[in-house]
Structure 1
Amino acid sequence: MNTADPHLVRALSDPDASDPGHSGGKGANLAALVRAGLPVPAGFVVGTSAYRRFVQENRLDVPIGREIARLSDDPATAEAASQRLRQEFESAGIPGWLRESVEAAYRALGEGPVAVRSSATAEDLPEASFAGQQETVLDVVGTDELCAAVRRCWSSLWTTRAIAYRRRNGIEHEQVAVAVVVQRMVPAEVAGVLFTADPVSGRRDHVVVEAAAGLGDAVVSGKVTPDRWVVDASSGTVVTRPERNSSGLTEDQLADVVELGLRAAAEFGSPQDVEWALADGRCRLLQSRPITSLFPLPPARDDDGLRVYLPVTLVAQGFTEPMTPAGNAFFRAMASLWVGYWTTGSRHVDPEIAPPWLPTVLGRLFVDFTPILQRRWLAHQVMSSMAMKDPTTSAVLQEWLERNADRLPRPIRGTTARRLVRRAPEALSALGGFASAIAAPSRHRRRVLGRAEAELVGRDQEAARRSTPLAQVDFVDRVLPAATLDLITVQLPAVYAEMLSRTGAEWLVRRWLGSSPGLEPVRRWLPHNPTLAMGAELARLAHIHAATGTEPSANDADVREFLEVYGHRAPDREIDLGLPRLTEDPAYIVELIRGYVRSGDAQSRFEAGEAAARVAADELVASVRRAKGRPHALVLRILLRCSRELGGLREWPKFDMVRAIALGRRTLRRVGTALVSDGRLDDPDDVFFVDPADLRATLAGDERDLRASVIANRHEYEHELSRRAVPRLLVSDGETVYGPATAPVAERPGVLTGTPVSPGVHEGVVRVLDSPVGAQLRPGEILVAATTDPGWTPLFLLAGALVMEVGGVVSHGAVVAREYGLPAVAAVADATSRLRTGQRVRVDGGDGTVTVLEPDQFAAPPQAIGMTRSTASPRPPASARSAETAPGAPRV
């Protein structure tokens, strides 16, 4: 009896074969190429329904479920599960319905040698290619071999690498099925791969072709080093070619391959990774998948020429993680107001329109830096200043500009001067504030902070008066960003006045005494600094609990009082309005108090530090008096007093900005609560993941599926949290630059180098952290992190030293480390992966080195990014990298 089922097997030319649900990603893409008239070897697809039927009839769902339940973070569990599941598949017999269906399709194909490839439903997706995860079997002949190859492809859904890849990308194992593509073998004379965008540089205007003689499997599997061409996509001009053409690919054949690849990219509407083969003088496409490693581009800007973008939060705040949609909307509104005010005088912002110069890409704001780079004199000034905060980005910009300055569009002449003239009154007002801060620093500080406090209280009351959700959203979108910008602007003259007084003191001390090391202790433990005051208050609470022998709790009256003052802050990335505040989860504060209790009398360390700074200032003034006389000493005393009175104010603009952000969060959460009551959302916090335009439209009466917006945005946000590499520079032609090309200073064995940002030497045990929450940092341990912000600084009192991957001498972590007298090194490449929790190292903040004292535990740096067919592992969660270790040694 004929048991062949025509729905199980479809020819690639069948219109239904382009359905990924039937044919998997690879099969559906091949069917689309066939439909577009591109040369693809004839073939058919054994659909996913055949796989599911095979699993059901052999009751393989039972062992699959059992093995999935056993999986853990230990790679050995995936390997063991793979072996057992593949054995289950391979031992199952070939059913008659499969044999007859495959035999009929094979006979219609003309029999002969075929290539058999797996095609999973989660394969060749824009966000995950699954390249190389399942089986390919070549030169299969005969029905028996073909059926066995199909079963082998089904089995390969459970290879160790496929299991691990799905786990890493958050794809449910049970939801994936696999189809099998069967095609006539191409007796290739030359074969290889083609990328319609350069997968290394990211440039979309370049096509990369790799070729080798014979079958393309050798190129794909990495068994040979292929010849490599880079071709200009628009002109077809060869940009680079191999020194020796060992593959034999001719110029005409190269042009044909490039043309077919670009046609495939046009068919799918995205850059493609294409496998191809040449036989009998004809090129055939064997496979096409999206290039998933490319960083997306901002929307194209008409007739603007080449544009260069920088990641805002990485450069300004030092973190690579994305922000929530609500966080990006608020930060974008403030940035738009700031630029708009100083260029046009406008104080208007449309929350529904993202300015083209400030696009959001994968949850991260990028700023169009082209107007700066177009003016070389301005670019060099900005890059010089940037080098103090983010030397890596500064070096990247310098290198790129040297190579590409002639590719930038010409600037519009005369606009900068006219804009500055229009802003002259505001500049004069700021100058007046600057002079006031210099003349009477204490009075100016009290006036500015009092004004900010009154403004914030007034805005809080205004938010409370907004009774409807639409009015509340309007407050967060339109009113609060401008008010926040005013808070920051008013405080900046005092910050600049402190910088001037500090710089003047440094210059005078060097001139009068020959050097300025005595100034370093004077800059520590500055008064009126809200971040240091937060640490001091935690130390006071710890002192109370240590004296009484009580355990701190979130319900303690003193903890609640602490949260009234500092509860608007967040443990990490506090500029993101969408992230919870300390008041919402005080567990972090309670743990910090416990850590301070374990560290000893932290309160006395604050008091002693402040006293030591005052003594150091008096001694420095006395040294000048002895060397130069009383008038010189008086000048220095005035400058030092101004610096110490105003130095703490550099933390206030951000402190108050975060207070405003917390107010925006509370207000927007009220909107979320109302939408939950209306049945539009499932949780009040979902409102932070709704697109702002959708939110306003819904509240205005338009029917929108807010849940779908939340699901999509949460998925992207959570997926992007694991991305470690974010380009320091993103160009509109697709070029992405992650670091300077100039080779770094050679490191000695067991020594990591970076930028010295806070002097001192400390030996201790490493603790690598992704987040301050749940850190369990022991006194004296060396804190190693990608970067830090104010939420981390309470840990500085416990740490023996600080090592960061990002930052320069004026980055937040560096400044606070110097104030605490904490040895620190920044810009240590891949520090969080090259150092391990539990290692013993020596940190020298004076020469910028981290020396591993146990060389056998030293981790090699990650391999350079190359042309690979796999995705790098995401950063492991903080819980996996923060295991308990012995306390570190005291500071040297």
Structure 2
Amino acid sequence: MTYILSMKHQQATLETVGGKGMSLSKMLTAGLPVPDGFHVTTEAYRLFVNTNEIQPQIIDALDGLDPGNTAKLEAASLQISSIFTKGEITDELKKEITAAYQKLGNVPVAVRSSATAEDLPGASFAGQQDTYLNIQGESEVLNAVKRCWASLWTARAISYRLINHIDQSTVALAVTVQKLIFSDAAGVLFTVNPVNGDRDEMLINAAWGLGEAVVSSLVTPDTIVISKTSEKISSYETADKQLMTIRTAKGTEEVPVSDPMRQKPALTDNQVEVLTKLGKTIEQYYQMPMDVEWALEKNQMYIVQARPITVLPPQWKPLEKGVIYTKGSLAEHLPSPVTPLFATLGMDLINQATHILWNHMFEDGVQKLWPEHGAYTTINGYTYMSCRFKPFLLITKSFSPKSIRRTYQKSVERSNIAQKEFAAVVTEWESKSMESMSAEQLLNGVRTVFGTACTYFTKIQLCLPAALTSETLLTKLFKGTAAKAGVPDISVLLLGMDTIALQSEKSLYKIGKWVSQYPDLSNYLRITSAADISRQFTSAVPPPMISDELWTQWKKQIQLHFVNYGRTAYEFDFSNPTPQEVLTPTFESIKSFTTGQGESPLTRQAESKKRRIEAAKAISNQLNGPRRKLFLKLLGWAQKTAPMREDVIFSMGMGHPVIRLMLNEVAQRLIKKGALSQPDEIYWLKETELSDLVNRLDRGETLQDMTGTIPGCREEWKKNQSYTSPPEIPEKKKKNAHSNPEKPEIINGNTVLYGIGTSFGTVTAPACVLYGPADFEKFNTGDILIAVTTTPAWTPLFASASAVVTDIGGPLSHSSIVAREYGIPAVMATHSATRKIQTGQIITVDGKTGTVMIHEK
């Protein structure tokens, strides 16, 4: 048996020295600057396990483990670690390890775990096993080798293998012992930019001292972006490097960085150039993107580890040259990746309506502005608004006297007309008998109603600027005067307006008060979760404690509420269930009102009105003459148009309930003919596929079974959902750390995200990340609501939230307005909160500074 191999030995294969060891040997053999050392092979691990009869004890400890049960995983790991600690290395193996160590010169070394199932192109086991730095002396090296062997059975490693179905009985661990580099600086090099997926960029993280502080995320490192083609530095963000890992007599420790060094660049331009060339060589050698750990000692660069980058974000590249893509306008109402049916049928109708609008706005200039793929398109599943970049044409057309008059005159009246026209189409289709229509007629009905929704949106686009402009001007011109008058937040002038969303909340409040008259129903709501109430609501049979008559009355109350306020949507992609289908937020609100926990919207509105009147009077008293007249005129304009902004957005999803009913009817017919197995599978078909099925269905022909293609579409959608889509493509170069949302700051070991504070206050509470209606059931009273964005249909959740954080939005977004109405802190435009924060984590939201701190401990 071979227990020890030199670093350059030809038998240094995956099976003998593990992924990390094999990679280091390959690079050293190829002439790359890898510190010398030796491998303790997997045969040595197996010898230790067999002679100490450890494997049966491991199998017993792992029996029946659930990869999601952290407590039991930790207990099993501690049990196995104790077994390894008690085990004895054979005398023969001790001699071989100490002899190899003596050949290195009895110097300080790094002792690194190297598993047989790690650093592979298909799976990343980074951080699964342990590394020990600054180990010196024969007994210390032997002890570190044992600890590395035991780290094959950390809780995270066991869980990872269970999740990825890796046979726990076949894994083994090698150990690599290398001369320790006394690094002045260290870090990580990615041969492809892991933030934006750009294959022509390399990214370097660098900090002072040993690299442990960087790979363990204990320090915010410098971030350097390099063009792979030119090898020139594109950007160099020098971080405030507060900690560094250093050698000590007993190993390593983290110490503060001296003030002169904290904001000094860790690498010179020449050192970056050397590292860039090494990175390109390593990538060419492996023929794949690589994650490379490096160390710098006395201006000599060393490579201490290299592994394939197993997961890369997609590239966010323009589809057409000379076109810019933004998340503005309608794209804001499509925050998640869209489904195939929406990406085809829905997007086509959106572009048809938008083309009419652009003709109206830009007339003969449309051809110069309209992109080949349309005004709205998808990139990596996300919807973007696009336009050919012709700034002079846009400015002259958008700000012509004719355009300004058309946009600002009678905006409220025009929005009301647009809502009535849209409502008439929705009502017409709601009154039709769906069972009597052909599948083709139903699909055409979907096109008609959604096409009208798109036309409605284009019409309100010419109304909304009035609301935004009036509030912006009011704030800009009189914010200072408001402060002098003792009004710290001028937005109080626009709170408490009687919007449809507020009317809907008042309707739920009245239902809650109605419920309070009936002890049996009140008790039922009190002891039953909102999720269970939602499930039981569809049953004709009441719960045991409630009479048939009371159950019927209760259901009528809810149904009447939805008749009046149920025609809306959580987001514009019609594949998402509507509030009429996802009842949990509705019942959560009623529960809180019934039990007296929820604040009365009637009281809140009255108080807001009082503050509004008092604030207006206080500001007006500070003014006289023309400025007072201007203030009152702007105030009247803003107060008239502010409710319109919320109301028209609430109505955007007016057609979604009937659209989903029509698509459900088509889906049920397709299920009967074997084309689908579940109703929601219809959203995972492209328009051409659905049209073909519908035509064949109406002709009575045999239908193709489409269920086999749907899992792949769902997986693609889930993969896209894990990405953070940039707000603009091409992306703007980041100038500092705070402007880069993908590189949050680390303060005292806690991650801090930066955004825009839009509602003052500070709250520390558990986070709840909600991507859409499917997640609503996990939201609990007092949670901090984390979302990409919200619409008026989300408003019931705000009554239970302690704060709100979104990826996109600003001071005038729906999330901000409603947060201010409820008096809870809000931070918008964090860009990546939904990806950086996990449900259940304790976070602190500061609405004044616009920061979100994730408490890691």
Coarse TM-score class (shorter-chain normalised): 0.5 to 0.7
Q: Corresponding residue for 2:781? A: 777
- Going from structure 1 to structure 2, the CA distance change for 1:223 and 1:455 (only over 3 Å counts) comes to closer
CA shift, 1:559, in A, is: 1.0
Specify which of 253, 259, 276 is matched with residue 277 of structure 2.
Answer: 259
How big is the shift at 1:543?
Answer: 2.0
* Aligned twin of 1:82: 77
Contact 1:765/1:838, CA 8 A, preserved across alignment: no
Matches within 5 A, 1:453-464: 453-458=423-428, 464=434
Give how far 1:531 is off. Answer: 1.2
TM-aligned CA distance change 1:237 to 1:756, over 3 Å: closer
Matched, 1:273 2:269: no
Question: C-alpha distance in 1, partners of 2:221/2:609?
Answer: 67
Residue in 2 aligned with 1:537?
A: 507
Q: 1:5 Cα shift?
A: 11
Selected match of 1:491 from 460, 484, 501 = 460
Structure 2 equivalent of residue 794 of structure 1: 796
Shift of 1:453: 0.7
Separation in 1, partners of 2:471, 2:267: 66
Alpha-carbon deviation of 1:541? 1.0
Q: Distance in 2 between matches of 1:654 and 1:225?
A: 40
Is the CA contact (8 Å cut-off) linking 2:115 and 2:173 kept in structure 1? yes
Query: How far apart are 1:651 and its partner, in Å?
Result: 2.6
Shift in CA distance, 79/718, structure 1 to aligned 2, threshold 3 Å: farther
| Distance in 1 between residues matched to 2:378 and 2:125, nearest whole Å | 26
Alpha-carbon distance between aligned partners in 1 of 2:759 and 2:303, rounded to the nearest angstrom: 57
Q: Is the 8 A contact 1:194 1:274 kept in 2?
A: yes
CA contact (8 A) 1:89 1:155 kept: yes
Q: 1:648 aligns with which of 627, 640, 643?
A: 643
1:130 paired residue among 126, 129, 152: 126
Compared CA separation, residues 636 and 429, structure 1 to 2 (3 A): same
In 2, the alpha carbon distance for the partners of 1:216 and 1:834 equals 25
CA distance in 2, matches of 1:507, 1:860: 26
Separation of aligned partners in 2, 1:474 and 1:54:
69
Looking at structure 2, the residues matched to 253 and 134 of structure 1 have their Cα atoms a distance apart, in angstroms, of 29
Amino acid at match of 1:602: S
How far the C-alpha of 1:80 sits from its partner, in A, is: 3.5
Deviations 1:684-728 (A, max 9, x none): 4355567878878999969894254146236526756xx8xx755
Match status 1:195 vs 2:189: yes
Deviations 1:297-319 (A, max 9, x none): 22465866xx9765569993697
Give yes or no for contact 2:675–2:705 (8 Å, CA) kept in 1. no
Q: SS of 1:68's equivalent?
A: coil
Which residue does the alignment assign to 1:560? 559
Q: Which amino acid aligns with 2:379?
A: T
CA distance in 1, matches of 2:218, 2:479: 62
Q: Given the alignment, which residue of 482, 486, 497 partners 1:526? A: 497
Residue 584 (structure 2) pairs with residue 584 (structure 1):
no
Aligned length: 754
Deviation at 1:793, TM superposition (A): 2.1
Question: Separation in 1 of the partners of 2:16 and 2:431?
Answer: 58
Q: What's the offset of the Cα at 1:491?
A: 3.4
Once the two structures are superposed, residues 10-42 of structure 1 have per-residue CA deviations (whole angstroms, 9 ceiling, x without a partner) of 999999968xx9997647867997999989889
Q: Percent identity?
A: 20
SS of residue in 2 equivalent to 1:808: coil
8 A contact 1:542–1:593 mirrored in 2:
yes
Shift of residue 810, structure 1, vs aligned partner: 0.9
Whichever residue aligns with residue 644 of structure 2, its letter is L
TM-score (norm 1): 0.60
Residue among 88, 106, 114 paired with 1:118: 114
Alpha carbons of structure 1 residues 808 and 491: separation in structure 2 relative to 1, 3 Å: closer
Q: Verify the 8 A CA contact 1:257 1:283 in the aligned structure 2.
A: yes
CA contact (8 A) 2:116 2:172 kept: yes
> Aligned pair in 2 of structure 1 residues 559, 124: CA closer, same or farther (>3 Å)?
farther
Q: Secondary structure at the match of 1:84?
A: helix
CA distance in structure 2 between the aligned counterparts of 1:250 and 1:752, rounded to whole angstroms: 29
Aligned residues of 2:350 and 2:451 also touching (Cα < 8 A): no
Distance 1:145 1:180, change over 3 A: farther
Match of 1:158 in 2: 153
Pairing partner for 2:204 from 198, 203, 208: 208
Counterparts in 2 of 1:458 and 1:155: CA distance versus 1, 3 Å? farther
Separation in structure 1 between the aligned mates of residue 38 and residue 223 of structure 2, nearest angstrom: 30
Change (3 A) 1:447 1:172: same
The residue aligned with 1:574 is 571
Contact 1:94–1:148, Cα closer than 8 Å, also in 2: no
Instruction: Give secondary structure in 1 for the equivalent of 2:590.
Output: helix
Query: Which deviations, in whole Å up to 9, do the C-alpha atoms of 1:741-773 show, x marking residues without a partner?
Result: 8999xx9xxx999967569xx999967554565
Cα displacement (A) at 1:487:
1.3
- Tell me the secondary structure at the aligned position of residue 59 of structure 1: helix
The one of the two structures with greater contact order (alpha-carbon pairs below 8 A, sep at least 6) is 1
2:332 to 282, 295, 316: 316
| Superposed CA offset, 1:152-194 (max 9, x none) | 6553222255457x49x96568679645457795797989665
User: 2-side partners of 1:807 and 1:233: how far apart?
Assistant: 34
Contiguous gaps of at least 5 residues in structure 1? 376-413, 851-858, 864-872, 877-892
Amino acid across the alignment from 1:648: P
Equivalences for residues 246-645 of structure 1 within 5 A = 258-266=276-284, 271-275=289-293, 287-291=305-309, 295-299=313-317, 316=332, 336-337=351-352, 340-341=355-356, 342=358, 358-361=377-380, 364-365=382-383, 371=389, 375=391, 416=394, 420=397, 435=409, 437=411, 441=413, 447-458=417-428, 464=434, 482-496=451-465, 523-527=494-498, 529-549=499-519, 550-551=521-522, 555=537, 556-567=555-566, 569=568, 574-597=571-594, 598-599=596-597, 602=600, 604-605=602-603, 608=606
The 8 Å contact of residues 22 and 47 in structure 1, kept in 2 or not, is answered as yes
Indicate how the Cα distance of structure 1 residues 92 and 674 shifts in structure 2: closer, same or farther if over 3 A, else same: farther
- Pick which of 536-545 and 699-708 moved more: 699-708
Structure-1 residue corresponding to 2:255: none
Shift of 1:581: 2.7
How far apart in 2 are the matches of 1:827 and 1:221?
A: 29
- Pick closer, same or farther for the CA change 1:433–1:151 going to 2, 3 Å: closer
Q: Distance in 1 between matches of 2:8 and 2:330?
A: 46
2:715 equivalent in structure 1 = 712
Would the alpha carbon gap of residues 672 and 23 (structure 1) be closer, same or farther in structure 2, given more than 3 Å must change?
Answer: farther
Which residue does 1:882 correspond to in 2? none
1:843-876 deviation line (CA, Å, top 9, x unaligned): 9x9xx479xxxxxxxx99459xxxxxxxxx7xx9
Offset of 1:538 from its aligned partner? 0.6
Inter-partner Cα distance in structure 2 for 1:27 and 1:117: 8
Q: Is the 8 A contact 2:450 2:659 kept in 1?
A: no
Offset from partner CA, 1:401-458 (integer Å, 9 cap, x none):
xxxxxxxxxxxxx76489x49x99xx979956864557xx4xx565332211122245
Distance (whole Å) between structure 1 residues aligned to residue 165 and residue 787 of structure 2: 31
CA deviation after TM superposition for structure 1 residue 271, in Å: 3.9
SS, match of residue 274 in structure 1: strand
CA drift at 1:84? 0.7
Partner of 1:383: none
Flag the 1:564–1:43 CA change in 2: closer, same or farther, 3 A.
Answer: farther
1:130 corresponds to which letter in structure 2?
A
User: Match for 2:453: what amino acid?
Assistant: T
Unaligned runs of 5+ residues in structure 2 are 239-259, 526-532, 538-554, 695-702, 771-775
